[in-house]
Every structure is written in C-alpha cells, then in structure tokens.
Amino acid sequence: MGHSIQSGEIIGGRYFVVYALGLGEWGHIYLAEDIKCDRARRVLKEFSPKPSHTARLEKTAQLCDREVQILAQLKHPQIPQFRESLRVKHRERECLFFVQDYVKGLNYRELLQIRQQQGRCFSEGEMIRFLGKILPVLGYIHDRGLVHGNLAPENLILRNGDSLPVPIDFGGIKQAIATAVNFPPPEKPGYAPYEQVQQKIILPQSDLYALAVTVLVLLTGREPQNLLERQTLDWDWQQVKIRPEFAQILQKMLATEARDRFFSATEVLNALNPLMQPTVPEIETPELDLPPYPPPRSWGQKLLFFFRTLILVVFFSAVAGAMGWFAGKVWIDRQVARYNREKEAHILAQQPLEAPETLSFPPKGDRAVRQAQNQALRDRCAQLGVDYSFFTDLVEEEEAAQEQNFLDTKEDRAALEERLLEKLSHLSEEARLGLGDYEMEQREEWIEEVNQLHLSRKAFFDLADGKFFDHFPEKQGEDFQDRAIAQVWQGILFDTFNALQSGSAIEEIILVPGAFSSTVRGTLEPGTGKAFILRLEAGQQFELSLDTDHLTQLSLYGPRGEVAFLEDSRNGTWFGQLPEDGYYEVALVSQDSEPLDYQLNFAIVDP
C-alpha cells in the first residue's frame, strides 16, 4: 500500500507534509508542518475508507469531529493537543484526517525492542517510576469523564527532553470510525479487559487493566497471550521477577471483574507510594509544573457546560463565517499560488540524496532553487532522523566558528552541511533522534547506571570523547557545553552508554587464585575504546602494560575514579602499589586513523 500523499504536498491549504511516519489501522500517518502556525509540527492521521465505506464518510466525519472536539478540551502537558478533524478532496478522492500535535520520541514498543536486542527488558524500578508518571495523566483524563481505551506499549511515547510518558491514539476516535463503517474497532489482543471486549463497555478501570498488561509486557518482553492462561484467565507470575508487594498491586489492576480492581488511578498511586521510597531510587528528571486543574464536574454541570458552549460556538461560527468568507477567498488564492511554488521546488529536490553532490546547487538568488536546496536538506535530515531545526542551528554555529577563527579555507554552506551530515550518520538512529533534546539530567542518569557497572564518570567520558574528537578534532580544548555541538557529544555519550550496558565496550578481568596475570587481545576501530575493570586489594604491587604499534590513549583510575594513576597517556605502562581495595578501571581509546590491534597485560607482582 503506497503513500497516497507525497512529501511537499499541502493538505487543506495549511499542512505541509514532510514525510510519512508509518501505517496505522485506518490509513497512513504523516508528519506535517502547520504553515499557519509558525511551521509547528503536527501529526496527520488519515482515514482511507474502502470503496464500500465511502458513502459513510459523512457520518464518519460527523462522529469523529464530535470526538475530536471532546478530546481538544484536554489541556495537560503530557497529552498532545488535538487540533481538528479535516475533510478534504485529494486526487478526486474524499479523505478524512485527524490533526494532533507531534510528540518527538520513541514509543515503548520500540524501546522494548532495543532492550531485547541488548538481552534485557525493563526493570521493576523503571516500571514503578513509569507508573508514577503516567497514572496522574490517566487520573486527569478520568476526572473529566473520558477514558483512553487503547493503552499498549505502541501508544505510549517516552518524550525526548523531559523523559515523560505521553499517551497517544485515544480509542474514542477509532470507536467512532468503527461505528460509522459498522465494523469492529481494531483491538490489541490481550490488552483490553473482559468488559471492553465482550460487553463493549469501557471504564476507567479498563485503562488500569491495560496499563498493568503493558507493564507486564515491558518487564518480561512477552506478549499478553504468552502470559495469560486462556482457560482460567490467570496470569503466569513465574515469568515476572518482581517483589510480592508490586505483584499484588498489578494483580489487583488485572482483576477479571472491573469492580475488583482499584477504583481510580489515584488509588493505585497511593498503593505504589511506599515502593517509591528509598528502596527504589528515583532517577531525577525535570518535572513540568502542571497547572491547577478544576475539580471533576457532575453530569448535570457537564450537560449545562456543553449546551452553553454549543450556543456560543453556533453564534460565533455564524459571525466568523460571514467575515471569513470574504477574506477566505483571497487567502485561498494566495495559498494555491504558494502550493504551486512549493510543489515546483519539491520536484527539483527529487534526486538521489546519498551522494555529496546532491547538495550542490546553482548560484544563489533564484528563490525556487533555494527552496529546492532547503527541501533537499530537510529530506536528508528526515532520512537520518535528525531534527531539521537543530541541524540548521548546528550549521550556523559552525559557520560562525569558522568566521571567528579566520580560517583560510572556509567551507561553503552546502559543503559544511554535507560534512556534518556525514559525521552524524555515524551515530545510531536512536541517538540521532534525540539530537536537540538531550538534557543534563539524562546524562546524570546514564552516569548513575554506569556506576553500577563499577565504572566511573571519568572512564565513561574517556570512551565518548575518543569517538567525538575523532570526528571533530578541531573541538579539542574548546568549552562547547552550551553550544549545539554539545548535543552531538551527548548523542555519542548515549551510544557509549548503550555499548557499556550491552557489555560490548566493557570487560571484567578476573585474576583467579594461582594465576596473578592476564592478557587481553583485541581490535579497536578509529575513535572507539573499551573499558576494563579489575577487583584489586590495597598493598598489591600492580603492573599494567600495553603492546601496540598504533596511537592510543590509556588511562588507569582507582576505585570510583577518584585517583588517576594514568590519564590520556601515550605511555602504555604503569607499575606501583595500590592504595585501597576496590574496582580499578582501565580505559583504552584508539587515536589512530586505521583499525589497530592491541595487547593489554595485567599482573600482580610478588602477591
């Protein structure tokens, strides 16, 4: 099923389509920019009816428009704002779109897949913190008489920047579509409770059930059908390695009958509160100040508020419609002309983007050519998953640095963009997605987890610095922490963190009784490094030696990184008496332009 909308098209005279994000249950999902709202990023979810359902499009639009109006009243920092339902004619075909704010980040299904590639899942502590951050959002939704109705790992995004979970894909719109086309709504097997599947009743307690199933999936990496016994509807708790207190809370959320579950999200939070104390250390993340929300309204108050709102909407719609008709025609004519210009620019940009020469353009001055250049750059950023706004900031920062340093061979803009894109391509896709949104708090979280591997901040940074300065040698000795390039360094730090967590960048050297030496051989690619840890004792005479014919930096740190016996040394040997017990750290980083072979020797002399 190909994309019905192409990059560069404008939908409804307002939404400039950047590219397709994927395929949902009812149609394609697109990333777009709102040209009426300072190019703010939106998500366009398309409802593409089958030919047999086209006649029901009017009913579908009415039901969905009502649902969107209800959801648009939700004003919470962890809920992306619903904007509108949009019915347009595209290429002689009626289309319906749902417009919502874009949330940058990975959903929990994608995060779980990354964890599973590393041989692990989410921990109990992470899930307790996750519940502590998502339950207040559900409480806010439920207090307003609404239910999400579609919770699953795919529909919860870990937002970049503040690391808060954000619910997406509310079930109300899907239910409205299903009602209009007389077709069962798509449901994720195992996440919906009995009353939702069999009785078609959706309660706040239904969300609590789906949330608990989501937690079990993230803890085990197993799907609900592999955790639930279909005959007895009992969950297989032997697969879930958590404390009994936490298991009891999840079991109550997973009760078959809704009346046996917790009454509200707040009640679950109160039960979880003792588990959030020092026994489960909290990773600090920047918290958003939530506005004071009004108390829940009674149904009578809600009906009165609804009719008052309806009367005001009808009145102002009539006035605005009369005024808007005259201005609208002029505005539409302008937008059509702009659309034609942007379409022409997009056609110019449809050429292969991998080769460096694709960013080489004719002399400046031609507006269409400059538009094509910008669109080509946007496409390159989209291919790499790099935020376009961040990348332009990075390019401008590097241009200013070249001006300030009075370089004789200053790069032109296109060459600079190509060079930076090539360097960013060496980061993992997940690291590139975070560029522009990394925070100091995230870095401290990674350091805290690396410390659990008996590795200090110093050794951790040594490995990241090796790769960063291999790509950006001109940054040596500069203080760039407040600049855009610091985001690239933190992206490399994120990849280094993942390499340490997976075990590919760290190795424990164990000197077994009777054998007081050990030799490690390996190969390092340019700019890469590896850490080694050894459990040693105070008073031991320890010798470290490195054999290689290539350029390297070698560091030897005492326990917790408090003492540096060697630091970024090109001299590959050290011998001396150890001052204390603990884990000693060795960080080896390649500074060569070619892959290098090395041999590291560890020995306790005269034990």
What are the phi and psi torsion angles at 192 (to 5°)? -90, 135
Decide: 216 and 250 in contact? Cβ < 8 Å. Answer: yes
Bridging pattern class, strands 234-235 and 228-229: antiparallel
490, 438 in Cβ contact below 8 A? yes
Q: Packing angle between helix 457-471 and helix 440-451, nearest 10 degrees?
A: 120
The 3-class SS string of 513-534 reads CCCCEEEEEEEECCCCEEEEEE
Interatomic CA distance for residues 253 and 249, integer angstroms: 6
561, exposed or middle or buried, with CB in 10 Å at 0-12, 13-18, 19+? buried
Query: How far, in Å, CA of 173 to CA of 64, rounded?
Result: 6
Q: Which helix (H) or strand (E) holds 554?
A: strand 552-557
- Note whether 583 and 534 are within 8 A (CB): yes
Tokens for 369, please give them.
């050519």
Distance from C-alpha of 370 to C-alpha of 485, rounded to nearest angstrom: 25
Buried b (16+ CB within 10 A) or exposed e, 280-318: beeeebeeeeeeeeeeeeeeeeeeeeeeeeeeeeeeeee
Determine if residue 45 is labeled as part of a ligand binding site: yes
Do residues 492 and 424 make contact, with C-beta atoms less than 8 angstroms apart? no
Amino acid in position 77:
P
Q: Report the binding-site residues for ATP.
A: 45
Q: Report the binding-site residues.
A: 45
